[in-house]
Structure 1
């Protein structure tokens, strides 16, 4: 392949390679452990029940043990009270429909595929923000080899699925910005700007956000946050175009149109996800009203009351203020100490822990703080920073800030998997700044690029070191202890 052909192939070859790497890290031996791990006990069995009845049914005694053997006889027809919408479980059910309910690979197939697909989405988002194939590849690579993303893609929980749809919505919003981001300037500043109603990417974002909410209600925060972001960016675009009444124009003229494009699409998608419950009679609380939509509303009131009162203790609970410090990751599976020899040691352990790559995580948190500083400083100096810096900050806001508002609720560090793509994007934007400082000398730019390469190489090496802990390999106990850098990581 000539150098010219190679350059032309890089925009599709590099994302393909990064996505394949992500898929390999997530799909290799994904059936281990062949038992229901952590909250898989809820979502996997509920998924199979949805596939059988269209709603979540109650399971009898010894259901976990029987289910792992492919025996689903413990499933009853009575509706079970569940507290998360059904879409994520429907997706999990597809893998089991393909490979059977007793296949642990089938349980986790959907999350593994969507986890790898999220890496590709991050590539596309970063390419939109940086206009650089190289740095888009860096962002994809950092997410592809990160432990939190790997672990949560190898276990059948809902968080990786909701992350995929939120990231997809952000990509659609960026495509809308490419199409409608700027308004034409006029010689005479207009009082009002042009109302733009032809915005198919906003409708697509609404569908993605409705799907996110149909996996976990936390997706609704992303819907609200992106809605506000669209109004703000429309207002700023009108100001740049010289529109006299730009705040009111964006809020009261364009705003309602944007709302009608975004929110109804999300609501319809959400309601459609409940079709199995609506079209059958056995679901929990299904007979609370003769009107199925009122019955659905009644059920949602019960779910809401559960969520606001959830405060049961858990050894791995971690309030949101701890998450940036990474004080308490979650061990989603522990194989126990083994007497058999491993790696020349007779004292071994197998663990799956949601520790992210600590270098990526701490540098990423620092990058988020730096981007916040740049944005705030720009406003004070009346020299707004590039709009690209705000995108990962909005992503962090909608996936993190809401959890700070519920300090008494039982929540876990692995919820940060929804934040992780935006932390990676923030870190990549800062690395891009380091490598492309506008006023730097050629020597300094060369040093900046060398710094970026060094950081990426270190991150990859650390990921190789942690991979056994992310995938439940049996390792010497002392080797496992080397991965626990803080007391709460054990």
Structure 2
């Protein structure tokens, strides 16, 4: 040990000094703040290019756009979903929006299977750009691009590495299912966005609240419970999770799971601070505020998403609308409850056969993707028979690698109590396991229902890449080899994505080339 006459050097003292309470509870993030934004923004621009390029192609209604594009247009006109003509021709919708209402609107309100929030978001694009393919897909592409930015930032916060944060964003940007759902006016990309945004808020709150707790514990703690800590980020998380629930009811699973997770985090923080009564302190000081911030805020957000139906007459199941605007929310609640019972009955009795339906155990291995769009034009590819397809499938190099990464995280959580592994595993199983219950009843379901699981698959992979590379202080050959292997994996993912790109975006390709892309017969 290098010493002077006065004792150990300052550098040696810093290396052996025990961490402060603040460092112990909330380690600092890397100091490259400028690069921490430049890198993610570059990845986000790349993701946006992939999503907005040729966004109006195909010039046709793709898969369930036949419901959501029309519902969004009805929300703009009426404030609630209204029946439209059955014909799915894009030109009919476009002309109907610009000309006589009789060209598109049928009689009566429309019964819908999902809450309005996601369709309101789609409607923003139609309001700006009109009822065209670009208009109704615009917000999906925007939200898909922004989710990549959020992924970069939350992965950086969880790994302490800007490089790994950018790697996470890149993986999400080049996943096939994420790309397809970002280029289609369906609801699942919005559910994923709000869940990821809510999760990011909770992770940010974890860091901030532990720093505040450490600062407040500089003095004596007389009661052993610890101080009260205000969790401002959780209010924003409640808003995001409320929007997820108001897009699809599956958001409720994440609301419940994340509510339990943050309470466990609070208990862990007070225990790490060596308080005498950490669990009682968390229950007394954190549980009720967490319930209000997450559950109550989410509930208010959810009900607010129905405001068009609540305040206007004519919606499906909406009774007499009071002349007093202030009374309308109260008189609407019984009707809204009956509406929800009807929607619940629809979902629990939906057993219609569909050629592209799949079961939850198929999803991790990409057993049965969904053909959103397929035609066989006679020209356009330089061959006698061509194919154009939008195949809703994940990038296999991501999905299959995620299975191994998730198993590794099970080990990290059980043997090392790594909070990151536990949070990622919780996010994954929350989006997956509930569907097994519905599979027992043979409910119709599809691979794109797994879209909310995607961010947690990517986080699992990136966390394992970080373990492979090793800590920054390790300058040996292991780190060089680990970095090379991680880089090679990212190149494999990019190559896999580029290979699939033509069948993700309706490119004209020879039929034989299309057939070569169908690795499994179940992909057809």
1:235 aligns with 2:275: no
Q: Report Cα offsets for 1:54-92 as digits up to 9, x if no partner.
A: 011112343545534432422135111101000110110
Equivalent in 476, 500, 524 of residue 466 of structure 1: 500
Distance 1:483 1:9 in 2: 41
Q: Please name the residue that 1:393 is paired with.
A: 425
How many residue pairs get matched?
Answer: 475
Q: Please name the residue that 2:280 is paired with.
A: 248
Q: Report Cα offsets for 1:435-474 as digits up to 9, x if no partner.
A: 0158977111110000011011111111111111110101
1:29-48 aligned at under 5 Å gives the runs 29-48=54-73
CA gap of 1:190–1:359, structure 2 versus 1, over 3 A, is farther
Superposition deviation, residue 12 in structure 1:
2.1
Q: Please name the residue that 1:27 is paired with.
A: 52
Q: Please name the residue that 2:449 is paired with.
A: 415
Q: Report Cα offsets for 1:320-350 as digits up to 9, x if no partner.
A: 1111121001111112x222251x4222100
| Structure 2 stretches lacking a partner, 5+ long | 1-31, 98-102, 323-330
Distance 1:69 1:166 in 2: 32
1:212 aligns with 2:233: no
CA gap of 1:268–1:375, structure 2 versus 1, over 3 A, is same
Superposition deviation, residue 389 in structure 1:
2.0
Superposition deviation, residue 245 in structure 1:
3.2
Decide whether the 8 Å contact of 1:189 with 1:242 is kept in 2: no
SS in 2 for 1:150: helix
1:339 aligns with 2:339: no
1:406 aligns with 2:438: yes
1:431 aligns with 2:465: yes
Q: Please name the residue that 2:293 is paired with.
A: 261
Superposition deviation, residue 187 in structure 1:
9.8
Q: Please name the residue that 1:74 is paired with.
A: 104
Q: Please name the residue that 1:365 is paired with.
A: 403
Decide whether the 8 Å contact of 1:351 with 1:469 is kept in 2: yes
Q: Please name the residue that 1:381 is paired with.
A: none
Distance 2:408 2:237 in 1: 28
Q: Please name the residue that 2:6 is paired with.
A: none
Q: Please name the residue that 1:163 is paired with.
A: 192
1:483 aligns with 2:513: no
Superposition deviation, residue 20 in structure 1:
0.5
SS in 2 for 1:265: helix
Distance 1:463 1:429 in 2: 21
Superposition deviation, residue 190 in structure 1:
6.3
1:129 aligns with 2:158: yes
CA gap of 1:260–1:485, structure 2 versus 1, over 3 A, is same
Q: Please name the residue that 2:12 is paired with.
A: none
TM-score calculated relative to the size of structure 2: 0.86
1:53 aligns with 2:85: no
1:303 aligns with 2:343: yes
1:91-130 aligned at under 5 Å gives the runs 91-101=121-131, 103-130=132-159
Decide whether the 8 Å contact of 2:59 with 2:90 is kept in 1: no
Distance 2:60 2:133 in 1: 7
Distance 2:380 2:107 in 1: 46
Once structures 1 and 2 are overlaid, which stretch shifts more, 128-137 or 431-440? Answer: 431-440
SS in 2 for 1:419: helix
Q: Greater Rg, structure 1 or structure 2?
A: 2
1:449 aligns with 2:480: no
Superposition deviation, residue 488 in structure 1:
1.0
SS in 1 for 2:286: helix
1:328 aligns with 2:353: no
SS in 1 for 2:438: coil
CA gap of 1:305–1:61, structure 2 versus 1, over 3 A, is closer
Equivalent in 350, 353, 359 of residue 319 of structure 1: 359
Decide whether the 8 Å contact of 2:424 with 2:459 is kept in 1: yes
Distance 2:204 2:472 in 1: 26
TM-score calculated relative to the size of structure 1: 0.92
1:223 aligns with 2:255: yes
Distance 1:262 1:195 in 2: 21
| Structure 1 stretches lacking a partner, 5+ long | 1-6, 379-383
Decide whether the 8 Å contact of 1:70 with 1:100 is kept in 2: no
Q: Please name the residue that 1:377 is paired with.
A: 415
CA gap of 1:281–1:236, structure 2 versus 1, over 3 A, is same
CA gap of 1:341–1:230, structure 2 versus 1, over 3 A, is closer
SS in 2 for 1:38: coil
CA gap of 1:25–1:293, structure 2 versus 1, over 3 A, is same
Once structures 1 and 2 are overlaid, which stretch shifts more, 88-97 or 398-407? Answer: 398-407
Q: Please name the residue that 1:349 is paired with.
A: 387
Decide whether the 8 Å contact of 1:197 with 1:258 is kept in 2: no
Distance 1:159 1:133 in 2: 28
Distance 1:479 1:196 in 2: 63
